Copies of this chain bind each other. A is one copy, B any other.
Amino acid sequence: MQLQGIFAALTTPFAPDGSVALDKFRENIVRYNASGLAGYVVIGSTAESVLLTFGEIERIWATAREAAAPGKILIAGAGVESTAETMARSAKAAARGYDAVLIKPPHYYKPLMTPAALERHYRAVADASPVPVLLYSIPQYTGIAMTADWVARLAEHPNIIGIKESSGNVQLAAEISRSCGGGFQTLVGSASTLFFSLTLGASGGVLAVACCLPELAVEIYQATRAGDFTRASQLQQRILWPSQVIAGELGPAGVKYGMDCVGYFGGHPRSPLLPLSDAQKNRIESALAEVIARSAAISRAS
């Protein structure tokens, strides 16, 4: 199973009464279908996964499955603290037609989540999952740092096909690509390093900022694959600032406001995530305005 290109880490829209706005979610996907996105991650960190009930998650999974255009790859975020529950969710995602599952490490009992404990967890999940498993490295949220050596051991499992690497550390992504060999696929989770990671062996990206700027992210991927590194580098510079502000600094609320700015439905996050202040909104507006200005300048120049 090939995971190449840009995957949007979808947000979860909420209705004014706080329930999940499945209609808005569907509308966003229909628009993304027209882009060059390779697929969608449904129920990642950007989706406020830990603030949703499993009932809500199942409806979101079903909606995305129906709304996604043929050929779009669907990856379900299915990892929770319990090994058994992670296995159960992975089975349900597979039953709904998802192509792979993305499994974040259990992390609440941090001092007990030794490399050995995490390895046992991932092997149990991968043994049981009807669809391929992606590891998920996001130490800024989990406090769990995955090393290249550890990843390489798990990469030998036939049902563990790759990793979403969101630490932002270019060297680590490169080291993982190097240690794990050709079959193992590294999807970078940070748009700030997309071009660089692609040149160092990543096969694509799973990006929150692709919810606001899907075409720009896809262009970086395509320019890099086409060998047009000059253009890829220019585009990388363009996405850097919005990516830092929107996804890196402001999280799901930032991504959602960025979506509102460019015509998707974003809306508010669930509490305890705070709604944005006016100053934060202004930073996002400026960052997006700059992208648009630079795009125009590059168009004029070419």
Contact = CB atoms under 8 A, between A and B. Distances in A.
Nearest to A105: B272
Interface string A191-211: 011011001100000000000
B171 A169 contact: no
Contacts of A232: 229
Interface stretch (A3-11, A35-43, A67-75, A117-125): A117-125
A179 to B, nearest CB: 11
Contacts of A233: 199, 229
B274 A81 contact: no
Contacts of A252: 109
A251 B108 CA distance: 12
B50 A82 contact: yes
Assembly stoichiometry (copies): 4
Given A170-B196, A237-B200, A50 B108 contact: yes
A44 to B, nearest CB: 12
A45 B107 CA distance: 13
A118 B274 CA distance: 10
B274 A116 contact: yes
A261 interface: no
A227 interface: yes
Contact of A251 (B112, B236, B271): B112
Contacts of A241: 178
Contacts of A237: 199-200
Interface in A133-180: 140-141, 143, 168-171, 174-175, 178
Given A168-B169, A170-B196, A111 B229 contact: no
Contacts of A124: 271
B109 A270 contact: no
A83 interface: yes
A46 to B, nearest CB: 10
A113 B272 contact: yes
B168 A168 contact: no
5 contacts: A82-B272, A84-B271, A112-B273, A117-B272, A171-B244
Given A113-B272, A116-B274, A121-B271, 8 more contacts: A81-B272, A108-B141, A112-B273, A143-B143, A170-B192, A174-B240, A199-B236, A200-B236
